[in-house]
């Protein structure tokens, strides 16, 4: 049974560019959440998608946007990249809010 799959695993972008990260949830899960983990910090909640709509959002600017597809997979888009956006981006899927499974993450480096 495949867990949560994220792609790509690593990414290097230039300041001002745009990036799209992808997540396939664990089989049977219908909810996808995204987290940003800066170096040496705990993950910070970006937003959660359920039934193709954003259900809850954390304290992130509008440059961060997302989408959920009918097959429950999800994308995280970040526009106008800043150096401070460099982080590990984690996707978590769940069927209920107390059963989160995390992917291995995408390491984004902005130069």
Q: Which of 19, 23, 26, 43 binds other proteins (CB under 8 A)?
A: 43
Contact status, residue 32 vs residue 74, Cβ threshold 8 Å: yes
Cβ neighbourhood burial of 37 (10 Å; 0-12, 13-18, 19+): middle
Asked if 41 is part of the footprint of other proteins (rule: CB under 8 A), the reply reads: yes
Asked if 36 is part of the footprint of other proteins (rule: CB under 8 A), the reply reads: no
Q: Which of 74, 78, 93, 103 binds other proteins (CB under 8 A)?
A: 103
Q: Which of 23, 32, 48, 110 binds other proteins (CB under 8 A)?
A: 48
The backbone torsions φ and ψ at residue 5, rounded to the nearest 5 degrees and listed phi first, read -115, 130
CB of 53 to other proteins, least distance (A): 12
Please count the other Cβ atoms lying within 10 Å of the Cβ belonging to residue 12: 11
In the window 52-91, what residues touch other proteins (CB under 8 A)?
A: 55-56, 58, 90
């Amino acid at each position: 049974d495949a867990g949560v799959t994220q792609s790509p695993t690593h990414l290097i972008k230039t300041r001002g560019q745009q990036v799209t990260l992808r997540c396939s949830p664990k089989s049977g899960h219908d909810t996808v959440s995204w987290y940003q983990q800066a170096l040496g910090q705990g993950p910070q909640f970006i937003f959660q998608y359920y039934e193709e709509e954003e259900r809850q959002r954390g304290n992130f600017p509008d440059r961060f946007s997302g989408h959920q597809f009918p097959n429950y997979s999800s994308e995280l888009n970040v526009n106008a990249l800043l150096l401070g956006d460099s982080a590990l981006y984690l996707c978590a899927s769940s069927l209920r809010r107390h059963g989160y499974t995390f992917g291995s993450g995408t390491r984004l480096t902005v130069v």
